[in-house]
């Protein structure tokens, strides 16, 4: 949508083909009876650094809300509960020292590797981030802490990702320290409505329910076949996750190393569950609503209630291997898990009014989320394959971004790059 907005602003002739009956992709808002929205997909704008996303919400005059944080955080491990005043992970003093040391090492490497040419660090591409953490940390609390952060942020089993993929990814967000402020602001208006407003401005240049099936391309012509129609154009921007590009028939085929990168691609595994209550009842017990649990089925819960509404909203996020095991549960079973977890953490519970979750892992037009990542050894083999152009085909989408890869900001940045390249060509 952002690429379309930019092309429209420059008065270019284009058509946008969207597979779903809605726009937004991994941004998917749901309107509640009181007019507010919850987010089944992307929710937060970071505290700083996401300049494009920040100007987009400013342009549409959306008012940022901040997660409720007053009160105590519940920390749950081995079914033992600890109440934290500052919300900081309850390390032993040795564990804390070691976590700090490992964090410094991650910071240094992230800075050294940078976001643009990570393939200059081949040994880190052969080592899984799991093995790197085990080798680098000297205390099990520190290893547990960092592995949890990495698995939650990248939504992939750390044994399947190279240390290089992990550090390069962190460098696109400006360093590991930026991850902490990544879930800062959210919007009662629902982020998807921004993309719906852009869609409305496109008129008949947007064709919904049109999954692209095949692409024939040459230097100056592209023929795109959807389930119903054929389109001809001079240049094509493919703005989808790489795993979906791999499902299309493309002739001539994309280079060999594109297929190699696809064959080892790790698609993100995430489950987001949202419980809506009559009121934020946990606040009566001086609880903030935040739950952190490194060893339960659910690892993170946060209070995302809207200040202008009496309802209480809890959002649970599960990433990586845990998401893989929870995802096959049906909605009723997911709700039971969610309610029982909240009850264990808060010591009591109240009746849930509504419960939402979306299956991103098997959604045919996402096949995973938040984002997909390169497999072990793939940076060295395939370098910047996902963001390179091939003849008339240009690639966008957050997986191709050099800034905030995996986030909305990355999707916006990649759209700007792709549009710039197309403009240069035509
Ligand atoms: C649960 C969850 C929580 C998240 N939280 C955050 C967050 O808090 N902050 C943040 O910044 N990011 C978050 N993200 C990540 C963010 O949503 C993505 O990084 C971003 O939306 C990716 O945008 P994109 O345009 O690259 O891809 P997509 O949003 O996946 O868009 C691709 C589009 O292509 C369409 N498509 C697919 N196949 C075809 C085809 N064959 N033909 C035509 N069209 C096709 C899809 O329908 C879709 O509209 C979250 C994601 C999820 C799922």
The H or E element spanning position 356 is: strand 352-357
Q: Give the residue, out of 227, 408, 413, with the most ligand 1 atoms within 8 A of its beta carbon, to mutate for a pocket test.
A: 408
Q: How far is CA 180 from CA 150, 176, 266, 269, in A?
A: 12, 8, 23, 20
State the Cα–Cα distance between residues 98 and 136, nearest whole angstrom: 9
Strands across the sheet with 222-226, in order?
230-233, 222-226, 212-217, 249-251
Q: Give the residue, out of 21, 182, 240, with the most ligand 1 atoms within 8 A of its beta carbon, to mutate for a pocket test.
A: 240
- Does residue 408 line the site of ligand 1, with CB under 6 A? yes
| 404 CA closest ligand 1 atom index | 11
- Does residue 20 line the site of ligand 1, with CB under 6 A? yes
Q: How many CB atoms lie within 10 A of CB 77?
A: 14
Three-state DSSP at 303 gives strand
Sequence-ordered list of residues with C-beta below 8 angstroms from that of 274, at least 6 positions apart, any chain? 38, 40, 304, 313, 314, 315, 316, 355, 356, 357
Q: How far is CA 154 from CA 244, 398, 407, in A?
A: 18, 13, 11
- Does residue 56 line the site of ligand 1, with CB under 6 A? no
State the Cα–Cα distance between residues 109 and 376, nearest whole angstrom: 17
State the Cα–Cα distance between residues 78 and 293, nearest whole angstrom: 9
- Does residue 44 line the site of ligand 1, with CB under 6 A? yes
The H or E element spanning position 288 is: strand 287-292
- Does residue 398 line the site of ligand 1, with CB under 6 A? yes
List the helix and strand counts (H, then E) for the chain.
14, 19
pLDDT score of 115: 79
pLDDT tens sequence across 250-292: 999 999 889 889 999 999 999 999 999 999 999 999 999 999 9
State the Cα–Cα distance between residues 46 and 178, nearest whole angstrom: 8
- CA dihedral 220→223→224→228, nearest 10 degrees, is 150
Q: Give the residue, out of 27, 42, 230, 409, with the most ligand 1 atoms within 8 A of its beta carbon, to mutate for a pocket test.
A: 42
Sequence-ordered list of residues with C-beta below 8 angstroms from that of 413, at least 6 positions apart, any chain? 52, 401, 402, 403, 404
State percent of the chain over pLDDT 70: 100
The whole model's pTM is what? 0.97
- In Å, the largest CA–CA distance within the chain is 65
The single-letter DSSP state of residue 236 is E
Domains of the chain: 2-33+191-265+378-425 (3.50.50.60), 43-72+183-188+267-357 (3.90.660.10), 91-179 (1.10.405.10)
Three-state DSSP at 30 gives strand
Contact 11, 424 (CB under 8 A): no
Q: Can you give the pLDDT of all 426 residues of the chain as single tens digits? A: 999 999 999 999 999 999 999 999 999 999 998 889 999 999 999 999 999 999 999 999 999 999 888 999 999 998 899 999 988 889 999 999 999 999 999 999 999 998 789 999 999 999 999 999 999 999 999 999 999 999 999 999 999 999 999 999 999 999 998 888 899 999 999 999 999 999 999 999 999 999 999 999 998 899 999 999 999 999 999 999 999 999 999 999 999 889 889 999 999 999 999 999 999 999 999 999 999 999 999 999 999 999 989 999 999 999 999 999 999 999 999 999 999 999 999 999 999 999 999 999 999 999 999 999 999 999 999 999 999 999 999 999 999 999 999 999 999 999 999 999 999 888
pLDDT score of 244: 97
pLDDT tens sequence across 75-122: 999 889 999 998 888 999 999 999 999 999 999 999 999 878 999 999
Strands (E) across 136-260 are located at: 185-186, 206-207, 212-217, 222-226, 230-233, 236-239, 249-251
Q: Which single residue is written with the structure tokens 């799991």? A: 130
Q: Which single residue is written with the structure tokens 């390179």? A: 388
């Amino acid at each position: 949508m952002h690429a379309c907005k930019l092309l429209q602003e420059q008065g270019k002739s284009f058509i946008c083909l969207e597979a779903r009956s809605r726009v937004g992709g991994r941004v998917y808002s749901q309107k509640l009876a009181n007019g507010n929205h919850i987010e089944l997909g992307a929710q937060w704008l970071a505290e700083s650094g996401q300049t494009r996303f920040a100007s987009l919400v400013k342009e549409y005059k959306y008012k940022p809300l901040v997660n409720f944080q007053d009160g105590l955080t519940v920390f749950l491990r081995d079914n033992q509960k600890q109440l934290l005043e500052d919300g900081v992970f309850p390390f032993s003093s040795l564990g804390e020292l070691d976590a700090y040391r490992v964090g410094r090492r991650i910071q240094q490497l992230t800075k050294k590797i940078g976001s643009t040419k990570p393939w200059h660090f081949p040994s880190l591409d052969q080592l899984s981030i799991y093995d790197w953490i085990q080798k680098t940390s000297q205390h099990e609390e520190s290893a547990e802490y960092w592995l949890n952060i990495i698995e939650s942020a990248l939504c992939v089993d750390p044994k399947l990702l190279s240390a290089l993929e992990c550090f390069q990814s962190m460098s696109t967000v400006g360093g590991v320290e930026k991850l902490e402020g990544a879930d800062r602001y959210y919007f009662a208006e629902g982020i998807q409505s921004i993309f719906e407003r852009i869609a409305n401005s496109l008129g008949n240049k947007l064709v919904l329910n049109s999954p692209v099936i095949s692409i024939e391309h040459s230097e100056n012509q592209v023929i795109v076949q959807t389930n119903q129609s054929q389109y001809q154009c001079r240049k094509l921007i493919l703005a989808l996750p790489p795993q979906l590009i791999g499902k299309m028939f493309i002739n001539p085929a994309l280079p060999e190393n594109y297929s190699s990168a696809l064959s080892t691609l790790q698609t993100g595994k995430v489950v987001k569950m949202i419980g809506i209550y009559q009121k934020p009842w946990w606040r009566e017990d001086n609880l903030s609503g935040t739950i952190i649990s490194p060893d339960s089925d659910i690892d993170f819960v946060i209070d995302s209630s809207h200040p202008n509404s009496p309802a209480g909203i809890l959002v649970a996020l599960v990433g990586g291997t845990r998401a893989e095991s929870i995802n096959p549960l049906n909605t009723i079973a997911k709700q039971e898990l969610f309610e029982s977890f909240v009850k264990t953490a808060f010591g009591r519970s109240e009746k849930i009014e509504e419960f939402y979750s979306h299956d991103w892992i098997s959604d045919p037009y996402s096949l995973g989320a938040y984002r997909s990542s390169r497999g072990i050894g793939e940076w060295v083999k395939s370098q910047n394959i996902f963001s390179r152009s091939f003849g008339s085909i240009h690639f966008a989408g957050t997986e191709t971004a050099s800034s905030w890869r995996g986030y909305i900001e990355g999707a916006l940045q990649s759209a700007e790059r792709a549009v710039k390249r197309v403009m240069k060509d035509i």
